[in-house]
Amino acid sequence: MAYTPERIQEIVAKQRSFFRSGVTFDVNWRLQQLKKLKAAVIAHEEELEKALYEDLGRSKVEAYLCDIGPVIVEINEALRGLKKWAKPERHFSGLMCFPSTCTTVYKLPYGVTLLISPFNFPIYLTLGVLTASMAGGNTAVLKTSSKSAASTRALQKMIADTFPEEYITVIDGGHDVADMCLAQRFDKIFYTGSPAVGKHVLEEAAKNLTPVALELGGENGNWCIVRKDAHIKDAARKIAFFKLCNAGQICININQVAVAEEIADSFNEALKNEFIRQIGEKPEENEEYPKLINDAAYDKCQRLAEAYRDRIIFGGTGNKETRRFAPTMIYPVQIDEEIVKHELFCPLLPIVPFKDEKIDDLMETIAEREHPLSMYVFTKDMKWAKKVMSTQQYGGGCINEVCIHIMVKGVPFNGVGHSGMGAYHGEWGFREFTHPTTVLKGKTRFNLPLREHPYSGKHEKMKMRLLKIFER
């Protein structure tokens, strides 16, 4: 369907009218809608799997592991927790507010939300965010990626079969359609994607002073540090799994590995062996291995691999017709080279050697760059690891593990700086899509003249004395 500014304006107007009817404020109604969403995902599971295979070459297991299953988990968490999350908070007003004794904080929905999702996890990063918006009591316009066209078609059909357009609708199209959406006045915008587009979203949202949440990949990519005391085979096994997942097209994926020189040869050999064990000697011929999203992404990956051809120690091969490009180890790469200064979003893996005794210098260099979305460290030194993970600036991460921090219930998923702002998953998503509103309940009797004029003369000492007592 071809969209025009007038058509999008009409959709937003319908949703605003629906929101103002007050229907979405009812928590029980929201729970009913979340149950409908869950039932729809389960009913359309096969269609969603086929779409993910068409777009990204995902196997059935990887499609469920990375996209469909996490949506169901997210909905289940909202179903279990929503009544508690949405319950108004009661606070004692304090002596300064006497004779009022009760103040309430309501968690109110923003209204009409715009959710812009990416191609790499087109189901999860659309419906996961939608779950948070629905739990918060909002309506939603979903602008999905034109790159993952099959997934967009599947989502359009599923949402249209489940919800009325004035409540939730899916809009397809390219950047021009996204800009048409951004030109409208929404009450909340949630964007997942690149820092460059994130800046554009913020700029457009600022014209209407619309609050924005951004989940971005990070300008300089995510680091994984493997120290000399790390369990080499365990680190290699986990890093290989993660780099193979979605062919590296993951915002929290490892962009580059920094490995201690003392174990670099052993680590490189272990990582090669793990790639072969998990996906075979010719990954580009393995139908279980995902593909790059389009020809442009494949060509970009291939050009970058060619630029480092003399340092490729594993991989570097691909199949243009299927758009599968092998996981590719590039070693050695110095920390100041361009390839480790930007997010790659592909199967290339630069490996940066460092002297383990110079680990503080490495961490200082990482800290000076833009904040990553994720960070991973492999080491037996828990004191060092905990210090690093509690002092570096990044979104989230793991010690001696990769990626599964995003699967933990009750914790936020978020970035900082060039990797984003705002947070979601579970209650954190509910908070992101609601605004706290404080309401004090006054009394008509026993009101004291403390706050009223006059403040000088015989009243000054008495009022100052009482104020200082009340402020304790």
215 is a catalytic site residue: yes
Which entry of 66, 181, 224, 251 is annotated as an active-site residue?
A: 251
Q: Looking up tokens 């760059």, which residue turns up? A: 369
Report whether 286 contacts 252 (CB < 8 A): no
Instruction: Using alpha carbons, list the distances in angstroms from residue 376 to 5, 267, 388, 399, 469.
Output: 44, 16, 10, 6, 51
Q: Looking up tokens 């929905």, which residue turns up? A: 109
Neighbours of 332 (CB within 10 A): 15
- Phi then psi for 164, rounded to 5 degrees? -70, 150
Q: Tell me the two tokens of residue 219.
A: 């300008």
Residue 399 buriedness (CB in 10 A; 0-12 / 13-18 / 19+): middle
Report whether 333 contacts 256 (CB < 8 A): yes
Residue 442 buriedness (CB in 10 A; 0-12 / 13-18 / 19+): exposed
* Cβ neighbours for 285, distance < 8 A, ≥ 6 positions apart: 319, 324
Which entry of 49, 62, 215, 370 is annotated as an active-site residue?
A: 215
**CA–CA distance, 13 with 6 (Å, rounded to integer):** 10
* Residue ranges with strand state E in 163-317: 168-171, 188-193, 212-216, 222-226, 254-260, 312-314
Alpha carbon 77 to its chain's center: 17
Alpha-carbon Rg for the chain, nearest whole angstrom, is 26
**Dihedral of the alpha carbons of 334, 336, 337, 339, in degrees to the nearest 10:** 100
Nearest to residue 249, comparing CAs of 354, 324, 170?
324
* Cβ neighbours for 99, distance < 8 A, ≥ 6 positions apart: 442, 443, 445, 446, 447, 448
- Residue 148 DSSP SS3: coil
**CA–CA distance, 153 with 139 (Å, rounded to integer):** 20
**CA–CA distance, 239 with 224 (Å, rounded to integer):** 9
- 336-352: b or e for each residue (b if 16 or more CB lie within 10 Å)? eeebbeebbbbbbbbbb
Q: Looking up tokens 């091969």, which residue turns up? A: 317
Active site residues: 215, 251
